[in-house]
Amino acid sequence: SYKIGVLALQGAVTEHLQQIAQLGARGVAVKKTSQLSELDALILPGGESTAIGHLMRQCGFIEAIRDFSSQQKPILGTCAGMILLAKELAGAEQPHLQLMDIRVQRNAFGRQVESFQVDLKIKGLIDSFPAIFIRAPIIEKVNLSTEQKSEVEVLAEFNGNVVLAKQKNLVACSFHPELTDNTAVMRLFLDLIKKSN
């Protein structure tokens, strides 16, 4: 079965590991860059993106994960993980991977709206997915670079904002698929892993 790592520097690691096991794959908590070579795919979990980003830089994960991605291995970033994947952050300076051709706005729903749940239609996947948003980011803009052809595919929107998108081996998700029993988003990620193997 596939071996899926969950970056375990800070944030919502356990829930992802549980869902991975539920789907019959093997989940590994990743704390050192040397573990990446044994993985088929990686999840960057939710948490505090500034804290995770600084720890990533300290531990050599920025370079190591860029390298992992250049081997076309699938990476899923949820919430803080989406922020870490983005090429551009709106009005924020913090260490991040800059891998995905998107501009992300942190805490896009404001302080008043800490968390909420909505049913989302996900393109080509499911008509109603229970999406849980917690101090969530949104994707303000996709396909930033003009020289490159449009590679980012929008998979779900909420109130006119992009909240789920895919670019080749990368998936960015504003909400928390690991906090519901619905495994549709994880199955989308598993399909990506199957195709890349």
Annotated binding residues for L-glutamine, written as ranges, equal 47-49, 106, 134-135
Residue 82 near residue 173, CB atoms below 8 Å? yes
Q: Which residues have CB under 8 Å from 37's CB, separation 6+?
A: none
Residue 177 near residue 20, CB atoms below 8 Å? no
77 binds ligand GLN (CB under 6 A): no
> Of the candidates 173, 193, 170, 167, which has an alpha carbon nearest to the alpha carbon of residue 185?
173
Shortest distance (Å) from residue 119 CB to ligand GLN: 19
Binding-site residue total for ligand GLN (CB under 6 A)?
11
Residues 88-147 that bind ligand GLN (CB under 6 A): 106-107, 134-135
Shortest distance (Å) from residue 25 CB to ligand GLN: 22
Distance separating alpha carbons of residues 142 and 129, to the nearest angstrom = 22
**Among 22-30, 47-55, 141-149, 184-192, the segment contacting ligand GLN (CB under 6 A):** 47-55
- Name which position in 5, 30, 42, 47 contacts ligand GLN (CB under 6 A): 47
Tokens 């519901």 found at: 180
The catalytic residue positions are 79, 176, 178
Neighbours of 27 (CB within 10 A): 21
Looking at the Cβ atoms of 48 and 151, the one nearer to ligand GLN is 48
**Among 19-27, 44-52, 60-68, 184-192, the segment contacting ligand GLN (CB under 6 A):** 44-52
Burial class of 92 by CB neighbour count within 10 A (0 to 12, 13 to 18, 19+): middle
Looking at the Cβ atoms of 20 and 80, the one nearer to ligand GLN is 80
Cite the DSSP H helix spans in 46-182. Answer: 49-58, 61-70, 80-85
Residues forming contacts to ligand GLN in the complex (CB under 6 A) are 46-49, 79-80, 83, 106-107, 134-135
